[in-house]
Structure 1
């Protein structure tokens, strides 16, 4: 339960803070004061194992000493000179070139996920052939809250509609197939329709997609989905723009989730874990795109905080640790442990409609019963808050809980966290 110091702090905030916080903040009502590795401490001194890694951002856990040292040293030297060159920038560029697929050899730096998605859209729009004036995206996708990102997925606000320029294809949401088919008998019909309505259309310039749909609840595509779409887009001259803001940096067991599905995107966006939660984002792409004069007039890749020295320092330190300590191999090992434990959890409780994930990114979908598959946000919220009371933090969104532990967590702590999660589910469904 929230302690007295936290309640007082939340009351002070409420006098001036606008509403509209995340579901996690609204229902959790905690005031976190400190983080070390996979552990958070609140204002009353209670500790929590953080299997959400901040907002699915802390690849190395909270307060990693090498990232702290890099940020502290840089803070003493220089903070912002717009996008002018600084001593560490070339090192970060060369590090990215080692970690990313060879064809993604040119980079631009930004500060947030939505900002880098907007930059990718500008590149697509600037380089598209005449007549290719539409962009494809996937239902259930999420690319940020800015206007261009919202337009992609037809996310209107109020009475204003700005979504006429994108074409939506079917996401590989097998558990709730909109075509009412069953995999594999369906022959991946959703992919065939994306091929027909996006990849084969001469007026579509690009497909913007999450290889694994994160905000929608960690929707992992079945075999054949991306293989068919990727090939069709390449044949049809439709650019592939992979939104890896969440998945990039190793979270699914490869540096890019696209690599797990044999995709070779033309542009990739990264943020969240790239700088261990410090605001920093990367647009990676083929030189033939990012260096084209139409895409690179003066100021095209610049903004107030783009390429700032602090973000560069944090990203360089984070990625150097991931590379040096072979943490992506570690992600695959820990991911196998999560799969085993969560599969067993799924079998125990009927309210768990589906458990799905890759590497250290997992989603738990709660339903009222397995037959109707009716979403059960009340149950998800109850499990989320009960887990907090037990000392475990996960990520809440509607009727889905997401888990994204730091890459540096040890097996014993991860196992303890999954045991706490099982305990929380049991206490909610069998009070």
Structure 2
């Protein structure tokens, strides 16, 4: 156990006034972080950690990247906020986005958070949908934010209030826990066929909002053919494809959009987390004809208090220019292949590690009580998470799944060191 005396005192002090309801990671980890440099975090007691969660899957370039720090510092000395008025860097940022995003996504609206940009995408869909197309499709296990519109998509009720709204849910491609009780390849992607039947083929459906790789659900990677079937059916029936790339956008999976890897050409894409290396920033990318549609582009439609603020633009521009200049998408693919092999080696060793899945530098490890029944074990996942912190490794915890998302700039030696620490943490947890 690492020294935590100062941290525990600090946590007790803030607990007198801080509302409960922190993330599971914060509640279990109980750390007070004071500094971040590259892939390394330092806490109040001087302990250091390899950050394999990249903040909250946000620090694409690692903590305190000097070029992002410089861009923010220089901008902070000049100008912070003039609502959504044009500033010198905005045109340059838009040009960079046009180079990195698929050619058909050539028009952009700038926001601050993931949920905000998802809500903006929903407004575009609702404004442009023809009469009669009044329903929106989404996937079970999906996560799109905590605002009301985002919650309505996945029928996320709070208390006794039900806000299912007008969304229709389809089956996510969760092969490890197939909701239909089938197995590949004999399943013939029945989940995709049902999404086609209940969402894509319905004349009342305006759009399908989806995560190409479901992140909060535990990095659910679709099998080959799933998205091709669903996307083709949506295209044939006039259903818009809205990709929630808040977590994956910006290169996390080895392509700038995960949609590119799974064979989908979205009409709208929402990006946020890693786009400005953790600074609040989000972008809605879309087809020209959608975002310029008079019904969707009424005065104020793409404006908000912090939308287009100069600080977010500066951080995003610096982050994306480093990703582009240093060819970090290629680096993500290379490191992802290495991480794939290392993590599957852990799966071979530990019976309680039921499934390992991922793309690029985004991986999910699903812990179970036993492989035969696949009973989820959140207790074991929490124990591994806590043991990893004690050993000097920070990952992302959610239920019975741990997610790994190292920064794009990590080197192979530190990647291997992180996997070694994770292996030791699993050993501790399963033998405790």
Hey, what does 1:83 align to over in structure 2? 84
Q: Retained in 1: the 8 A contact 2:110–2:308? A: yes
Corresponding residue for residue 290 of structure 2: 289
How far has the Cα of 1:164 moved from its partner?
3.2
In the other structure, the counterpart of 2:376 is 375
State the partner residue of 2:260: 259
TM-aligned CA deviation for residue 427 of structure 1 = 1.1
Instruction: Find the counterpart in structure 1 of residue 153 from structure 2.
Output: 152
Normalising by structure 1, report the TM-score. 1.00
**Cα deviations by residue, 1:352-384 (Å, 9 ceiling, x for unpaired):** 010000000000000000011000000000000
Contact 1:268 1:283 in 2 (8 A): yes
For 1:100 and 1:402, how far apart are their aligned partners in 2? Answer: 26
Q: CA RMSD in A?
A: 0.5
Question: Once the two structures are superposed, what CA deviation does each residue of 1:132-170 show, in whole Å capped at 9, x if it has no partner?
Answer: 000000000000000000000000001111113100000
Task: Assess if the C-alpha contact under 8 Å between 1:114 and 1:143 holds in 2.
Answer: yes
Indicate conservation of the 8 Å contact 1:220/1:356, yes or no: yes
Partner of 1:143: 144
CA distance in 2, matches of 1:305, 1:255: 25
Deviation at 1:262, TM superposition (A): 1.6
- 2:387 aligns with 386
**Distance in structure 2 (CA, Å) of the matches to 1:244 and 1:372:** 32
SS at match of 1:109: strand
In the alignment, what sits opposite 1:408? Answer: 409
Q: Could you tell me which residue of structure 2 aligns to residue 174 of structure 1?
A: 175
Q: Does 1:430 align with 2:402?
A: no
**CA–CA distance in 1 between the matches of 2:198 and 2:8?**
52
**Can you list the C-alpha shifts for 1:313-344, whole angstroms capped at 9, x where unaligned?**
00000000000000000000000010000000
SS in 2 for 1:129: coil
Give the total of aligned pairs: 431
Per-residue Cα deviation, 1:383-415 (whole angstroms, up to 9, x for no partner): 000000000000000000000000000000010
Map of 1:93 onto structure 2: 94
Are 2:165 and 1:164 equivalent residues in the alignment?
yes
Partner of residue 421, structure 2? 420
Q: Secondary structure, in 3 states, of the residue corresponding to 1:88?
A: helix
Separation in 1, partners of 2:301, 2:337: 42
CA positional deviation for 1:3: 1.1
CA distance in 1, matches of 2:16, 2:355: 40
Question: Aligned partners of 1:7, 1:385: CA distance in 2, in Å?
Answer: 15
Q: Kindly state the Cα deviation for residue 93 of structure 1 after the two structures are TM-superposed.
A: 0.3
Quote the Cα distance in structure 2 between the aligned partners of 1:423 and 1:21.
27
Aligned partners of 1:125, 1:188: CA distance in 2, in Å?
A: 30
1:313 matched to 2:319? The reply is: no
Which residue matches 2:62?
A: 61
8 A contact 2:358–2:364 mirrored in 1? yes
Aligned twin of 2:275: 274
Question: Which position in structure 1 is the counterpart of 2:10?
Answer: 9
**Residue 2 (structure 1) shift:** 5.3
Decide whether the 8 Å contact of 1:92 with 1:316 is kept in 2: yes
Runs of 4+, deviation exceeding 6 Å: none
How far apart in 2 are the matches of 1:2 and 1:58? Answer: 26
- 2:22, 2:393 → 1: CA distance? 20
- 1:39-69, CA deviations, whole angstroms, 9 ceiling, x for partnerless residues? 0000000000000000000000000000000
The yes-or-no answer on 1:24 pairing with 2:25 is yes
1:2–1:29 contact (8 Å) kept in structure 2: no
Whether the 8 Å CA contact 1:2–1:30 is kept in 2: the answer is no
Instruction: Give distance in 2, aligned partners of 1:84 and 1:183.
Output: 52
**1-side partners of 2:270 and 2:339: how far apart?**
27
**Corresponding residue for 1:303?**
304
Q: Specify every segment of 5 or more residues in structure 1 that has no aligned partner in the other structure, as ranges.
A: none
Inter-partner Cα distance in structure 2 for 1:113 and 1:49 = 26
Instruction: List alignment gaps of at least 5 residues for structure 2.
Output: none
Aligned to 1:43: 44
> CA separation in 2, counterparts of 1:345 and 1:299?
51
> TM-score by structure 2 length?
0.99
Aligned to 1:324: 325
